[in-house]
Structures are given as structure tokens and as C-alpha cells.
Chains A and B, each alone.
Chain A
Amino acid sequence: MTKKQNSFTSNLYIFIVMAFMYLPILVMIIYSFNDSKSRGAWAGFTTKWYADLLQNESILTALWNTLIVAVISSVVATLLGTAAAVGIQAMKKRNRELIMNFTYLPVMSPEIVMGVSLMLLFVMFGVDFSLFTVIVAHITFNVPYVILSVLPKLRQMDKYLFEAAMDLGCTPLQAFMKVMLPEIMPGIISGFLIAFTFSLDDFNISYFVSGERAQTLPVLIYSMTRKRVSPEINALSAIIFVVVLTVLIITNLNDVRKEKQLQKGGRRG
């Protein structure tokens, strides 16, 4: 009986946690179909915000900017970060610790400090603010996250694997591509995803380094607060949520299928 009770409380606990995380999103999606600008009162079902969204050039431009910045900055940060991690791993202990402290610094310091200092830097060197400066800034704050997620994988890896591959005739490049890369791939992918999400919803830094021509979505939404945030933003957020959810479900289903195939193959063999 105690067991039953236990499973009931743990289910309840999971339910509460899930509700806490997903209820706001659910409410947002429901209100994206609300036939009024109100965020409180329900005035009937409509899809007009979705239609308006497709017409609203400033939101679409901001969305496009945000996606460009997120993709470019996370890809570049992943390349730089992975290379850095491999290099750091190969360092002597003292140097490694020194570099790692520098890596932690941007992660630990408040974003606003990063934002202001990057802005001052760009002003000092006379760089014109544009999407380019935003991308550079995002790469800067993304690299440490990639390093931090790749390093543990490198540490877990058997360091003799790389040497063994070379002994068996691989060039260093081949050894890296064929042996090391597959081993640390999960770390790289999670680093990339972290970088991508951080870049997608960054406000503080983008706010300081975006120029007069390009603003990202978070900066645009923030500027709507004197009037009221337009329900088109609810519609957009709902679309983004559904897209992300679908991608996640598809990858998960794929994984499950692969695992099943592996199990089947194993049994046959």
C-alpha cells in the first residue's frame, strides 16, 4: 500500500512540475486564438493573428534576423569551441587551468557586462553596428558553452584510441575525423544546441550591439511594452513551439526505431 501511495505522490509531483513548465505555453497558445488584444478576457476564436503575422513585415524581418544570427553564430561557435576544447585538453595542467578560468569568466559574468563591453569595443574600433556585430557578439558568448560541453567528452575518451589509430596508419587528420570526432559527437551536438538556444533568446547583448538597421525578435518584443505586446507574438511563439516540438518528436521516434533495429539485429546475430 505504501508503494501505491508513493507512486501516486511521485506522479502528482511529476504532474505539478510538468504543469509548471508547460501551462504558460499552453495558455499562450490558447490566447493566440483569442479574438481580442486582451491577455485576460476570452472574446471568441479567431485565426486572424496568424494571418496578420504573415503580413507584419517588422516581426518577420526580426524573426529572419534572429534565425540568421542563431544559425551562423552557433555553427561558428561550435567549430571554434570544439577546436579550442581539443587544444585545451592537450595542454599541460597549469595552462589548462588558466585557460579554463578565462573560459568560465564570460559564463559567470552578467550578460549586461558583456553587452556593454562589447558595445564599447565596437565603438572604439569604429565598427558600424549591424547584424555582423550581433553575430560576432553571439559567437563570443557562445564559444565557452561549446567548450564546456565538449571537454567532458574528451576527458571520458580513452586517450590511447587516438594513438592506436595513428599506429594503424591513420594520418592525424584521419585519426581526428574517424576516431575522435565520433567519440565526442554527442558533446558537440549538445554544445551546438545550447549555443543555438542561447543565441535565439538573447536580449541583453543583442540590445547593446544591434545597430540602426537590424533588430532581433527579443529586442522587438521588448519595444512593444509601452503599448501592449501584440497577439501576433503569441501566434509566432506558438508556431515556434510547435515546430520545435515536432522536430523533437521526430528525432526521438527515429532514435527509438534505430534502437529497435539494433536489438533485432543483435538477436539475429
Chain B
Amino acid sequence: MDNNMFRRLTALFCTILLLAASGSAAFADSFEFDRDNLPYTDDWDAYSYDEEYYSQLAGQGASINFYNWGEYISDGSDDLVDVIAEFEALTDIKVYYTNFATNEELYAKLKSGAASYDVIVPSDYMVARMIKEEMLAPLDYSNIPNVRYMNPAFMDPNYDPGSVYSLPYAWNTVGIIYNTSMVDEEPDSWSVLWDEQYAGQILMFNNSRDAFGVTLKYLGYSLNTEDPAQMREAAELLKEQKPLVQAYVMDQIFDKMENNEAAIATYYSGDALLIDNDNIAIAIPKEGTNKFVDACCIPAVAKNKLGAEMFINFLNEPPIAAQNTEYVGYGTANLAAYCLLDEEVRNDPILYPPQEILDNSEMYINLSDEANLMLDQLWTEVKASNKNILTWGILPVMTIAAIVIGKRQYRKNREKRHKYMIED
């Protein structure tokens, strides 16, 4: 076999290997490693910063603008590291830190040209949308050496093929949160949300995508379906559920569940772990669920790309990532950081669910405009169906108020007339 031939064969072989790897490295295979045989050390002191790398921009008055979810980075409370302060001290780069509350808000702010950020943290489907609209700059991995610590299962996700534009920051799933004193057996299916036994004790998502996502999963469809018939079926099911629902809420579920005001709720499981009530438990249904990833990206308009890449690299220093994930309460995609966590956390079935459940779960992808529009319309239909207490409660209240006011006015007028009569 001559040399040339050998080279070609090797190339072919490599290509096949790569293809196979990229096929299997989809998100569904997350945590495909032996949990008892960790690939990295659990020694926190094994890591140190590469001072030379981090001092590249020192003394130049460099700065980066970091736009993140609210309360989504360790800030030095609870004896955890203050990530931004540590980064500033290490690199002499000033970090301007501001927050957003929804992906759509982030999108609007970036799209309007009203602000130029260097690092942003959109969720999966928003990453895909931003890539499509050419709003992101490709990451230069030669400036992000810590990419080597990432869990391969999270690289090359369907929202960003090849991980060209994004590096996962945190990931989590949607779960059923229930109060063990009110729910007898552990729910293992979304069907519990339609169980008449819990009428008036169910809290449901107050946003269309998550509410439909849960319903579509229950029906056994993909939560990214664009089939009008399936979407309509889900809407009908949601309408059916409506009389059982106590309220459509988002972060109010914390208070309601804490105070035993409701038995069952749907929310992001990592956040639900923070609920301060011993009776609260979380279950991830067998039908599978939505798993979501928030990923670090650099906008195409970023002014300090190197600084941004250094920051993303710093976020993936294993000890930093490990403390940050503890603060945020979601799972980490940084394998070396995962290995530093306590065994109890590592084996938490809610934070790091078993493989079977993950295999059934899906991430959101960016729906087409038509599907988005239909989703919004169906959601409006669901929310508007049925009479709720406000619409038919307001009429009697207003009638009573009108009668009271009218009567007083009448009496006053009569008194006045009376007075005039006397004066006359």
C-alpha cells in the first residue's frame, strides 16, 4: 500500500468516525459516561488559572458588557465565589453587568440596536433564531481552551450544529412539582394535571410555549410540532383542563407551593428545588419533558470579542463553573465542574435525570412564524374560554356600587331641596 493510498484511507476513516460521533453526540445522549467512574478529578485544588492567558488585556482599560438573566450568576452570597469580581481582579477587564427577564426581551434589545453587548445568555431556541438572523459571531475556540472540559453530549446541539456560536451555560428540565401531603402517590405522568381529584389545586404555566409543550408531551407528540391538527388537539385538552386549574402563574408558584395553597404545579425543576417546604417533591414524567439549555454567545456587534471569549472561558474554569451551578440551581454542562460537585448533587435525579427520561425529552426549536402565530391564537382561545370569576364577578359588584352611590346622591338631593324649601 503506497503512502498516498494510506493517507486517503485514513482520511476516509476519520470522516466516518467524525460522522458517527456527531450523530451520537446529539443532546439525547447526555451523560453517557459511567457516573461512578468520573473522567475528571474531584480535587478542587487541582485547577489553577493560566495567568498569562488572562492578562492579555490587562492595563488597557478594557471592558465587556455582559447581559444575563436576573439572579443567574454567583454573586458572592452563601460563601460562593463572586464570579464577576474574581474575573475583574484576574484580568483587569471591567464587566458591566445588566439583566433581562425573557428571551424575547433580550432579542428585542439586541435587534433594536439600542445596546451592544459582548456576552449574552439566550436559551436554545433563541440561539437558533439569532443564528438564523446572523446576530451572533462565531466563537474562536483557540481563545476558549476550557472547551475541553465540556460534556461532549452538550456539544453540537440541534440548535447550534457544530457548536459554532454557543457554549452551554446551564441546563434544566420542566417537571411536576407536588405537595406530598396533598398528593398520595408520586405522579409519573403528565396525566396528573388532568386529574379531577385535584380540581382547583393545579398551577399551570402562564406562557404559551411551556403550557403547550407539556400538553403535547402528554399527548405523545413532539413539543416542536407544527402540525395544526396536533396543536389544536393540545388546545382542546388545555381548555378541558382549565376548570381544574387554580391559576396560570409563573414565579408566584414559589409562594403558592410554599404555603400549601396548591397541590400540583409545573415549573423548571431546578428552581423548584429552592422551594422552602419539606413537603415539596418534584417528579419528571415518563412521557419525557422539555429540557432547555441557556448558552453563552457573542453578538455579531460585540466590541470586545477577545474579552468576551476570555469571560466565557473563565465561566468554564471547573471550580468557577461548579460554584456557579450551585448558586444558579441548574445543571452544568461542564464535565470537570460536574466532577467537583458533591456526590449527592451529582446523583440528584431532578438536576441530572436518568438517561431514559432524557432520551424521551426534547429541546425547543425555533418555530416557524405561522406556527408561532397559531400558538399565540390558540393560547388566547384557551385563556379566554370559560367564564372566570373576574368577568362575571365584576357585574354584580358594579351594580351594587351603582345602587349605593345612586341612593346616596338621591338622599343628598332630597335634603338639599328640603333645605332650600325651608330657607324659602
Within 8 A of B (CB), among A29-67: 36-41, 43, 52, 55-58
Q: Which residues of A contact B77 (CB under 8 A)?
A: 52, 55-56
A199 within 8 Å of B (CB atoms): no
Contact of A225 among B76, B250, B277 (CB under 8 A): B250
Q: Which residues of B contact A223 (CB under 8 A)?
A: 69-70, 98-101
Q: Does the CB pair A227–B71 fall under 8 Å? A: yes
Within 8 A of A (CB), among B235-268: 250-251, 254-256, 258-259
Q: Which residues of B contact A219 (CB under 8 A)?
A: 98-99
Q: Give the CA-CA distance A214 to B94 in the complex, in Å.
A: 13
**Interface window among B30-38, B113-121, B346-354:** B113-121
A220 within 8 Å of B (CB atoms): yes
In the complex, what's the smallest C-beta–C-beta distance from A191 to chain B, in angstroms? Answer: 30
B151 within 8 Å of A (CB atoms): no
Q: Does the CB pair A57–B75 fall under 8 Å? A: yes
Chain A minimum-CB-distance residue to B94: A213
Q: Does the CB pair A212–B67 fall under 8 Å? A: yes
Within 8 A of B (CB), among A191-247: 208-215, 219-220, 222-230
B91 within 8 Å of A (CB atoms): no
A122 within 8 Å of B (CB atoms): yes
Q: Does the CB pair B101–A38 fall under 8 Å? A: no
Q: Does the CB pair B112–A123 fall under 8 Å? A: yes
Q: Does the CB pair B251–A215 fall under 8 Å? A: no
B274 within 8 Å of A (CB atoms): yes
Q: Does the CB pair B115–A228 fall under 8 Å? A: no
Known: A58-B97, A212-B98, A215-B99. A224 touches B114 (CB 8 A): no
In the complex, what's the smallest C-beta–C-beta distance from B238 to chain A, in angstroms? Answer: 22
Q: Does the CB pair A226–B69 fall under 8 Å? A: yes
Q: Give the CA-CA distance A152 to B249 in the complex, in Å.
A: 46
Q: Does the CB pair B99–A224 fall under 8 Å? A: yes
In the complex, what's the smallest C-beta–C-beta distance from A209 to chain B, in angstroms? Answer: 8
A176 within 8 Å of B (CB atoms): no
Q: Give the CA-CA distance A38 to B84 in the complex, in Å.
A: 27
Contact of A38 among B65, B112, B258, B271 (CB under 8 A): B258
What is the interface size of chain B, counting residues whose CB is below 8 A from a CB of the partner? 36
B17 within 8 Å of A (CB atoms): no
Q: Which residues of A contact B85 (CB under 8 A)?
A: 57
Q: Which residues of B contact A224 (CB under 8 A)?
A: 70-71, 99, 101
A129 within 8 Å of B (CB atoms): yes
B233 within 8 Å of A (CB atoms): no
A143 within 8 Å of B (CB atoms): no
A119 within 8 Å of B (CB atoms): yes
Chain A minimum-CB-distance residue to B274: A37
Q: Which residues of A contact B76 (CB under 8 A)?
A: 55-56
Q: Give the CA-CA distance A119 to B271 in the complex, in Å.
A: 34
In the complex, what's the smallest C-beta–C-beta distance from A5 to chain B, in angstroms? Answer: 16
Within 8 A of A (CB), among B63-94: 65, 67, 69-72, 75-77, 82, 84-85
Within 8 A of A (CB), among B48-70: 65, 67, 69-70
Chain A minimum-CB-distance residue to B115: A212
Q: Does the CB pair B100–A119 fall under 8 Å? A: no
Q: Does the CB pair A213–B98 fall under 8 Å? A: yes
Q: Does the CB pair B70–A129 fall under 8 Å? A: no
Q: Give the CA-CA distance A219 to B109 in the complex, in Å.
A: 13
Chain A minimum-CB-distance residue to B117: A212
Q: Does the CB pair A119–B99 fall under 8 Å? A: no
Within 8 A of A (CB), among B287-340: none
Contact of A226 among B75, B101, B115, B276 (CB under 8 A): B101
B96 within 8 Å of A (CB atoms): yes
Q: Give the CA-CA distance A57 to B98 in the complex, in Å.
A: 12
Q: Does the CB pair B251–A227 fall under 8 Å? A: yes
Q: Does the CB pair B98–A228 fall under 8 Å? A: no
Chain A minimum-CB-distance residue to B110: A212
Q: Give the CA-CA distance A263 to B251 in the complex, in Å.
A: 57
Q: Give the CA-CA distance A209 to B113 in the complex, in Å.
A: 11
Q: Does the CB pair A213–B96 fall under 8 Å? A: yes
Chain B minimum-CB-distance residue to A128: B116
In the complex, what's the smallest C-beta–C-beta distance from A222 to chain B, in angstroms? Answer: 6
Q: Which residues of A contact B102 (CB under 8 A)?
A: 226
Q: Does the CB pair B259–A40 fall under 8 Å? A: yes
Of residues B96, B250, B256, which shows the largest number of chain A Cβ atoms within 10 Å of its Cβ? B96
Contact of B251 among A129, A212, A225 (CB under 8 A): A225
* Contact pattern, A 9-46, Cβ under 8 Å of B = 1, otherwise 0: 00000000000000000000000000011111101000
Q: Which residues of A contact B251 (CB under 8 A)?
A: 225-229
Q: Which residues of A contact B98 (CB under 8 A)?
A: 210, 212-215, 219, 223
In the complex, what's the smallest C-beta–C-beta distance from A135 to chain B, in angstroms? Answer: 16
Q: Does the CB pair B101–A40 fall under 8 Å? A: no
Q: Give the CA-CA distance A230 to B77 in the complex, in Å.
A: 12
In the complex, what's the smallest C-beta–C-beta distance from B302 to chain A, in angstroms? Answer: 10
Q: Which residues of B contact A225 (CB under 8 A)?
A: 70, 101, 250-251
Q: Which residues of B contact A36 (CB under 8 A)?
A: 276
Q: Which residues of A contact B82 (CB under 8 A)?
A: 57
Q: Give the CA-CA distance A129 to B258 in the complex, in Å.
A: 41
Chain A minimum-CB-distance residue to B328: A227
Chain A minimum-CB-distance residue to B97: A58
Chain A minimum-CB-distance residue to B64: A212
Q: Does the CB pair A220–B112 fall under 8 Å? A: no
In the complex, what's the smallest C-beta–C-beta distance from A172 to chain B, in angstroms? Answer: 44
Known: A40-B259, A208-B114. A227 touches B276 (CB 8 A): no
Contact of A211 among B72, B75, B115, B258 (CB under 8 A): B115
* Contact pattern, A 70-83, Cβ under 8 Å of B = 1, otherwise 0: 00000000000000
Chain B minimum-CB-distance residue to A58: B97
Q: Which residues of A contact B250 (CB under 8 A)?
A: 225-226
Q: What are 27 A-B residue pairs whose CB atoms fall within 8 Å in the complex?
A: A37-B274, A38-B255, A41-B259, A52-B77, A57-B75, A57-B82, A123-B112, A129-B115, A211-B115, A212-B67, A212-B115, A215-B99, A219-B98, A220-B99, A222-B101, A223-B70, A224-B70, A225-B101, A225-B251, A226-B102, A227-B69, A227-B271, A228-B71, A228-B251, A228-B254, A228-B274, A229-B251
Which 6 A-B residue pairings sit nearest by Cβ, starting from the closest?
A223-B99, A223-B70, A212-B65, A224-B70, A212-B115, A40-B259
Q: A40-B256, A223-B69 are in contact. List 7 more A-B contacts (CB 8 A).
A: A39-B255, A40-B258, A40-B259, A57-B85, A119-B112, A209-B114, A224-B71
